[in-house]
Every structure is written in C-alpha cells, then in structure tokens.
Amino acid sequence: MELYTHALESIISDIENSSAQVIEKRSVNETFELWRDPVLFDKLSGNLGAVFVRALLNKLNVNEHHVFRWRLDNKYRQYQIFNHYLPGSVAQTFGLSELLAEKDGHQKIRELCENGFFVKSTLGHRTGQSDNFDRTAELEDIINLHQEKGNQKNESQEKEEQPEQWILQKRLDLNEEFRVHTFGSDLIDGLTFIMAGHDTTKNSAAEMFVQKILATLPATILQGTLIGWDIGITNANEYYIIEANFTGFHPEFYAGFQTSGYFGDPDYGPAMCAWLNNYFRNKYQISIGTVEQDFKSGSPFFEEFLYYRSIFNDQYIKILQNKRKGIRAFAVIYLGFGANPFLTKLIAYFLEEDFAREYFLITSEETIQGVADEFARNKLILIIDENKLFLPQEYSSIRQLNYQERKNICCDRLLNKIEEKYYFVL
C-alpha cells in the first residue's frame, strides 16, 4: 500500500510541477487543405476521423505524447488522478496487484466480487460497445497469470514501471451513459451523445458534470488535450466518470495515435468533425477549409463533412448553449424534392444529441413516404406535406419553383401558422 501511495504522490507532484501546453490562437483566420500527408498516417491507430483530428491538432502544435507521460490511458491511473482532484467522481476502485499484496488478498478479492465489484481491464478498446468490459469470470486465470509474472520479475520493480493491468470496480446501477467531448477547459458544443439508456434530455446535465470535472483538473492535464468523457448516471441520479478517452499517442494498447471513436463513426463522424472544425475556427482561428480531391474521392466521409461544414455556423452553437440554460429551439427543416441526402442523416444526429425541442419536417409528395418511414414513431417529429400549407391554386404554381424557392416559401408559410418565436430553419 505504501508503494502505491508514494507512486501517486510522485505523479501528482510531477503533474503540478510540469508546464502546461500553450495553444496559440491565430492572429487572423486560417484555413488549410486536408491531404494524404504521410505524417498523419504514421503510427496511426484509427480511421479517417482520427486523421481529421490529428491534422487539426498538428496545426495547433499539440504534443500528442503529453498526457501519456502519466499513463492516463490506464483506467486505474485515471481513477487515482480523478479521485484525487474530485473525490468520488469515479466508482470505488482497487488495483488487483494492490489487493494481492495485502494479507489474505485472495479472500478480499473474492469478497469484493461477491459484494458488487467486478473485474475490469485497465486497457481496452470499445469494451462498452462490445459488452466485454466485465472480466470477473476470468478472475482465477487473471490471478494465476499475475502470479506467474511476479515470479519472473521483481514485483516492486514491476509496479513502479507499469500501472495496474486489472482493477476491481464497484458496479454502478446506471440508467444512462453519455459521451461528452472537451478540449482544454472547454466543452465542445454539438459533441454529446447518449451511449446507453433512452433519456437524451439528460445530456445537458452530463455536460454540466463534465464542466465541474474540468474546473478541478490542472491545466497541465487539460491544455491541448482533446478528451471524450464517458459519463454514467445512476438510478439515484448520481453522476460518475466511467472513463476518459484521451486523444494522442497511446503507448501500449493499439499503440499509436488514437482519438474518440465517434469521430470516425460512419453515421455521425462527418457531422462531429464539422462541429470540431467549427470549434477550432471560433476558438483558435484555424480550420480545415477543403479536402484534396484524390483524398475526398476515396470516401464519402469527406464529402459529407464538407456539406455539414457549409451548414454549421455560430447560430447553431448559440442554440446548444441556450439549451444548457433550459431555452430550447424548434427546428423547421425542408426535406422536399431535391434536398441533399445528408440532411436526413443530420436530423438523426440532432435527435441523438437532443438538439431541438421539436422538429417540423416539410416534405413534398415525392418524398413524404420516405421521410415518414425514416422517422416513424418518433414523438419529437411532425411531418408536414407541403401541399397542405397552400390552397390548390397556390400550390400548382409553387410546384414550378426550384428547390430553394420552394423551401423559402414553405418554411415562411409554416412559421406563420405555428407562431413559434425561437426556431431555426435548415
């Protein structure tokens, strides 16, 4: 136990006596082209989303090794650090080696497992999505393997060189789990998703909890660090850090540059990258403006990103900021004939992040059935056939208009009918 206490004190001292990264804002707005730069693919442990994130961070001169000097990819190390700065923010956790070093350690481990604790690896990849985070069934094999390693190497030396490989953690009775993304001390608007559960309206509360965490952590850890926080909410409405997914060069498990897997998600990744791009444009005046043609043609990912990039602006950031204050907007979205197919995916994205209070989807007779099938039984969506907004003689002339003209007239007519004061049109 003394060894573990000393190790933690040493790490905290190093964190608090080290220099924070300095991320400088450009003096003027600067955009750059994303291309197949070999630097971005060197020792990459990720997909196109990771390439995108790495390109932005490289432009900001972020040191992708910085936080990993303290092995913050390791879940036990995370528990130690987060619990130090914000006690109780992580479920109670014990290191396997720490327990085995105690008198009657085997018995203590079994008693913990019988009383609500489970065995978990400190290094992993997408364990929540694959539902293989609970390794209690392998406990005896894990203990035997640990003892074999202990016989091969001086145990105290091993502990000092390497954080725990296995932990026992208190099982939480979770209702929801959210992924929240931050950079430095900033919460990034538009990048919060429900990972488990159904109540998306709690995402603002999860964001507020993350802001509380950010307020307690030193700049040494936060500055220049992009983090995907997994936040669990229990039946008793208690909030916990499940884990933090640090962007940067992970030194051991899937060694290489990693970031939050959501940035490469085929459904939400392009929109997430557009939000991230928007954040860096506003905060640091640096953003990706174009994608090299050969790179773009190799995947629809970047074509979709560029479409969302053309849409997202400061109005949408303000909507998300107001939502955290309890002020919620209505969405009026035109999905008539000629609408970009990515727009339907964007609506699904908005639903996942609880973007708007309700959605009025205006469609044409050519598209109404497809829209109805896409969003069937969603209580937040009201589908409106555009011809119902007009008299028959009016609609015959409106059908002759181009897409943009029809969109403008239909949205104006609907807004006059519903008389909502806080809305956005897409």
Question: Half-sphere exposure of residue 321, counting CA atoms within 13 Å on the CB side?
Answer: 9
What percent of the chain is predicted at pLDDT more than 70? 93
- Give the chain's count of helices (H) and strands (E): 19, 15
Sign of CA dihedral 255, 257, 263, 267: negative
Sign of CA dihedral 171, 172, 173, 177: negative
Query: Please, which residues have CB within 8 angstroms of residue 61's CB and are 6 or more apart in sequence?
Result: 23, 24
Return the higher-pLDDT residue of 404 and 419: 404
> How far is the C-alpha of 136 from the C-alpha of 110, rounded, in Å?
10
Q: pLDDT band for 26, please (50, 70, 90 cuts).
A: very high
Residue 177 has pLDDT above 80, yes or no: yes
The full DSSP string for 285-305 is SEEEEEE-HHHHHT-HHHHHH
Q: Among residues 340, 197, 231, 223, which one has the least CA distance to residue 284?
A: 223
Q: Which of 104-113, 174-183, 257-266, 282-291 has the lowest mean pLDDT?
A: 104-113
pLDDT tens track for 38-87? 999 999 998 999 999 999 999 999 999 999 999 999 999 999 999 999 99
Return the higher-pLDDT residue of 335 and 157: 335
pLDDT tens track for 297-306? 888 999 999 9
Q: 17 is written with which tokens?
A: 């006596």
For residue 1, the SS3 value is coil
Q: pLDDT band for 245, please (50, 70, 90 cuts).
A: very high
pLDDT confidence of residue 80: 95
Asked if 243 contacts 75 with a C-beta cutoff of 8 angstroms, the reply is yes
For residue 365, the SS3 value is coil
Q: What is the mean pLDDT of residues 230-257?
A: 95
The full DSSP string for 179-209 is EEEEETTEEEEEEEEEEESS-GGGHHHHHHH
Q: pLDDT band for 199, please (50, 70, 90 cuts).
A: confident
> How far is the C-alpha of 189 from the C-alpha of 207, rounded, in Å?
9
pLDDT confidence of residue 124: 76
Strand order in the sheet with 117-121: 93-95, 166-170, 117-121
Percent of the chain as helix, strand, coil, to the nearest 5 = 50, 20, 30
> How far is the C-alpha of 288 from the C-alpha of 31, rounded, in Å?
5
Q: pLDDT band for 151, please (50, 70, 90 cuts).
A: low
Residue 159 has pLDDT above 50, yes or no: no
pLDDT tens track for 214-224? 999 999 999 99
Q: What is the pTM of this model?
A: 0.90
Q: C-alpha distances in angstroms, 10 versus 14, 37, 208?
A: 6, 39, 31
Asked if 241 contacts 231 with a C-beta cutoff of 8 angstroms, the reply is yes
pLDDT tens track for 99-142? 888 888 888 888 898 889 999 999 976 554 545 679 888 877 77
Nearest 5°: the CA angle 66, 257, 93 is 65
> How far is the C-alpha of 210 from the C-alpha of 182, rounded, in Å?
9
Nearest 5°: the CA angle 50, 56, 58 is 95
pLDDT confidence of residue 130: 45
Q: What is the mean pLDDT of residues 380-394?
A: 93
Going by their DSSP bridges, the two strands 423-425 and 330-334 should be labelled as parallel
Q: pLDDT band for 160, please (50, 70, 90 cuts).
A: very low
What domains sit in the chain, N to C, each tagged with a CATH number? 1-90+172-323 (no CATH), 92-170 (no CATH), 328-425 (3.40.50)
> How far is the C-alpha of 301 from the C-alpha of 268, rounded, in Å?
10
Beta strands in 105-173 (DSSP E): 117-121, 166-170
> How far is the C-alpha of 154 from the C-alpha of 164, rounded, in Å?
15
> How far is the C-alpha of 328 from the C-alpha of 200, rounded, in Å?
14
